């Protein structure tokens, strides 16, 4: 049974970098296409926003409005993938989710989410 | 980017009612559309993929339809567990995009 678990700092100061790690259990992160690994966020009381996705090969796709600040990478040795969001502001406060997706099938499995607050 | 427009933004219904939610894509996405259910305070759950395929374990009262730009999610007979927020998402191409959500209350 695939499980994903987000881990992060909980609180990040404005202008700093938000780092989130997604740990995968029950499956290998090296699973080949059509699977990919993704990050999604949800500001308090608002809708879902896709941040980006990464294939085990390292190939990435990012949200158009965030791509200048985002990096998602895979660490196959730890069966993890990670999100880095630079130069954060209060508007980056959200619950951040990790997920596994498949081409044309959507985001199949989700982690429980982790709240990250941007505040001084 | 492909824009996804959901309607209505909220709907009031009762147990046993039939409810339909619509989603429109800004351009042709064939059948590459997914629907999610998000209960309050929980992570989203995939209900339907490829516009009409039911994810494993999802009750048969949920159904999806459509192709091209217009899609629907129907719940045939509402149960208490179904009161949640529903999102559509296009899976046609990156960047992936979601609708704004429909709150069922």
Instruction: Give the pair of three-digit tokens for residue A58.
Output: 């390292």
Question: How does pLDDT run across A14-34, given as a tens digit for each residue?
Answer: 999 999 999 999 988 887 667
Q: Where are the alpha helices (DSSP H) in chain A?
A: none
Residue B48 and residue B55 in contact, taking contact as beta carbons nearer than 8 Å: yes
- Please tell me the predicted confidence (pLDDT) of residue B64: 98
User: For residue range B71-97, what is the model confidence (pLDDT) as tens digits?
Assistant: 999 999 999 999 999 999 999 999 999
pLDDT value of residue B1? 95
- How sure is the predictor about A104, in pLDDT bands with cuts at 50, 70 and 90? confident
What is the residue-averaged pLDDT of chain A?
94
Q: Who's near B55: CB < 8 A, 6+ residues apart? A: A108, B46, B47, B48, B49
> How confident is the prediction along chain B (105 residues), in pLDDT tens digits per residue?
999 999 999 999 999 999 999 999 999 999 999 999 999 999 999 999 999 999 999 999 999 999 999 999 999 999 999 999 999 999 999 999 999 999 999
The percent of residues above 90 in pLDDT, for chain A, comes to: 84
- Cβ of residue A22 closer than 8 Å to a chain B Cβ: no
State both tokens at B42.
Answer: 């929980």
Q: Which residues pair with B21 in a beta bridge?
A: B73
Q: Which pLDDT score, from 0 to 100, does residue A32 have?
A: 64
Residues of B contacting chain A (CB within 8 angstroms) = 1, 32, 34, 36, 38, 42-46, 49-50, 55, 87, 89, 91-92, 94-101
Kindly tell me if the per-residue pLDDT of A81 is higher than 80.
yes
Is the distance from CB of A37 to CB of A51 less than 8 angstroms? no
Report whether pLDDT(A100) > 70: yes
Q: CA angle, corner A96, sides to B29 and B7, nearest 5?
A: 40
Region of residue B11 (phi > 0: left; psi between -120 and 50: alpha; otherwise: beta): beta
Q: Do A61 and B1 make contact, defined as CB atoms within 8 angstroms? A: no
Q: How far is CA A32 from CA A1, A36, A120, B2, B93, in A?
A: 17, 8, 41, 26, 18
Question: Sign of dihedral through CA atoms B12, A42, B46, B21?
Answer: positive
Instruction: Kindly tell me the burial class for residue B23, based on how many C-beta atoms sit within 10 Å of its own C-beta (0-12, 13-18, 19 or more).
Output: buried
Cβ contacts of B50 on chain A, cutoff 8 Å: 104-105
Q: Is the pLDDT assigned to residue A71 strictly greater than 90?
A: yes
Query: Do A99 and A2 contact (CB within 8 A), yes or no?
Result: no
Task: Indicate the pLDDT class of residue A57, thresholds 50, 70 and 90.
Answer: confident
């Amino acid at each position: 049974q695939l499980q994903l678990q987000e881990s992060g700092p909980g609180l990040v100061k404005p202008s700093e970098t938000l780092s989130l790690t997604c740990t995968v259990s029950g499956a290998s992160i090296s699973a080949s296409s059509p699977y990919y690994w993704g990050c999604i966020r949800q500001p308090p009381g608002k809708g879902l926003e896709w941040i980006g996705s990464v294939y085990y090969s390292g190939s990435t796709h990012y949200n158009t409005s965030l791509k200048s600040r985002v990096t998602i990478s895979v660490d196959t040795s730890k069966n993890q993938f990670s999100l880095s969001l630079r130069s954060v502001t209060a508007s980056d406060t959200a619950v951040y989710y990790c997920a596994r997706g498949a081409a044309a099938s959507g985001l199949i499995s989700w982690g429980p989410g982790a709240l990250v607050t941007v505040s001084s | 980017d492909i824009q996804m427009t959901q309607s209505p933004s909220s709907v009031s219904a009762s147990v046993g009612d039939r409810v339909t939610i619509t989603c429109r894509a800004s351009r042709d996405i064939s059948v590459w559309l997914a629907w999610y259910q998000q209960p309050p305070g929980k992570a989203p759950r995939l209900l339907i993929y490829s516009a009409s395929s039911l994810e494993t374990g999802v009750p048969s009262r949920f159904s999806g339809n459509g192709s091209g730009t217009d899609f629907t999610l129907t719940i045939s007979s509402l149960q208490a567990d179904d009161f949640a927020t529903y999102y559509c998402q296009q899976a046609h191409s990156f960047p992936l995009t979601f609708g704004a959500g429909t709150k069922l209350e």
